[in-house]
Structure 1
Amino acid sequence: MSHDGPALTGDTPRTVLMCPGQGAYLPGALRHLRDLPAVADVLRRVDAHSTALGATGPPVARLLTDPGAPDPDQLLHTDPLAFDLATYTAVTALAVVLLDLAARPVHAVLGHSMGDLAALTAAGVLTLEQGVRLLHLRDRLLRDAALPAAGLLCTDLTADRAAELLRTRALARVRIAARNAPTQTVLAGPDDQLATAARAARALGHRATPLTSRTAYHHPLLIDVHRSFRRLLRAQRVAPPALAVYTTVTDRPLGTPAQLRSLAAAHLTEPMALHPTLHALRRAGVTTYLDSGPRALLTTLARAALPGCAVAAPFRTPVGVERLRHRLTAALG
């Protein structure tokens, strides 16, 4: 059986479903959709499988249906595994809803950082239970690694200006983790050097905002975790993707089993470049960009990169099904 992903060919306008990672956890994000059978099923299965694997933290169903649940910073501090599970579950559940309700067919998925795992699930490559198990395995590896305090810093620097700043300030352990937009560059590294980078950027009149993050993703600091996770991924069965699978670490669609397994670990060490992937999607005929996360994290970036493209972030605030249909119709026609 071939595992090549579906090709995006022809002149028919195409739609891509974008799956965000960091920043996609919002307390109570699914509260107005909790009674939808598809959403209820995702919440039930995630909590059941996570409990079977030994999770002792707050149920994901409560985190995503109670607006009074811990905020991202608090949850990440008290239970990083619950934070990761809630992020993955929110994006996956909302992807299921969009795939069901979107008037236009969806032809591809695009994962962003940790959103690659949700994208693989939405494309049918991994099951929901596999996604939960992989997050448990990754959590164990991260805890056992005894990593130094490290994180991510979002700036409004260009990538070239960021690289110059790191060079002139001798911040050798800080790396460019993501080029999200011409003037949005994310840095990764140990907390002390990130703090120096933030002060330097602000002194030059630029914004520098620490992101809610467990560690310095997209950084060589995690190379040993990456290698161990890749070994564990070799045992995972992957199904042929039902949708073309894209990611921000390459501008080519992924389809072979080896590529798809590697994608689940890419966010640990591989830097992201969103612009080339968005332009590759446009060349492949994609005209519509759907955001499957709370807020409008990726559609904002898509609009900046591709003026004139159609975007929709129907979950930018929690809404019920009818309001959701209205938003989709207004955005997509």
Structure 2
Amino acid sequence: MNIVVTGATSFIGAPMVDKLIGMGHDVYAVVRPASKNIARLDTGRERLHVIEMNLEEADRLDGAILMPCEAFFHFGWDGAGSENRMNRDVQQKNAADSLKALEGARKLGCRTFLFSGSQAEYGIHREAMMEDTPLNPVSEYGKAKVDFGRQAMEAVSRWRQEGHDCHGDSCADRASDHFRYIHARIFSIYGPGDHPWSLVESCLKTFPAGGYLSLGECTQMWNFLYLDDLLEALIALWLSGAEGIFNVAGESGETRPLREYVRLMYEECGCHGSYSYGMRPQNAEGPANLIPDVKKLMEATDWRQEIPFQEGIRRLIQRKNI
């Protein structure tokens, strides 16, 4: 199949490109012009087609991709780092650009549009987060993800109605009648290619070297999912025929106090170095608990988490030759 991936050089996008090509699909990887991260893609592969285009032009992708496409994986989103998560202008532009990507997918004849939502859409909660849990995002990042999801579902519903109202084969939008929108609310992911300032990367850099790590309180409940398991979950959602909103995170047994995760990483690194709590401020969203409920995902697909946290950390340690 022909598949479009935006944000194709990102932490999630680049390995998704690799996975889809490995499954035998042709991938149209949308990257910024003169992207500094293009080296993350093996551009010499036969089934990889790199499209240099800004996301604000994504509604015109049909002018650059001349083949009909089956699916559209949308990971392109600027300003996900802490410095821009509270910047309303940056985040609302992301939502507007993503609507153009949605339109681009429709023009390409895609049957599925999968969007990388976020746990930040929920805001601060003390209980388990289910897909129908009220949304109270704190950051502009979370608010923009919510705004886009609402507008996207409204657009898809409108397209379907237009398709139903068409008669005969002459209606250009007839294919929109079968357009599926998947909103994957992704929780905390770790793995190869993660940001160097993430908690996991900071621990795996500091502890083996015998260094000291200053941490926040780390008293909140948390849930980590290894990158490979995330990719399998997103593929499973695409292939299942499901649509709607789905939490994508580790299974319930992976939810534990964040301090427990730190302790496990410290032990896997041979108990070298040291760390202390309460020395750093909270992130942009504040002291959020991550208690995801993934029953809906597991009921809709045959996906099951394969890599528990300690195994994932061991894999990263091996990759880094620690």
TM-score bucket (shorter structure): under 0.3
Higher helix fraction (1 or 2): 1
TM-score with structure 1 setting the length: 0.25
The higher-RCO structure (CA 8 Å, 6+ apart) is 1
Which has more radius of gyration?
2
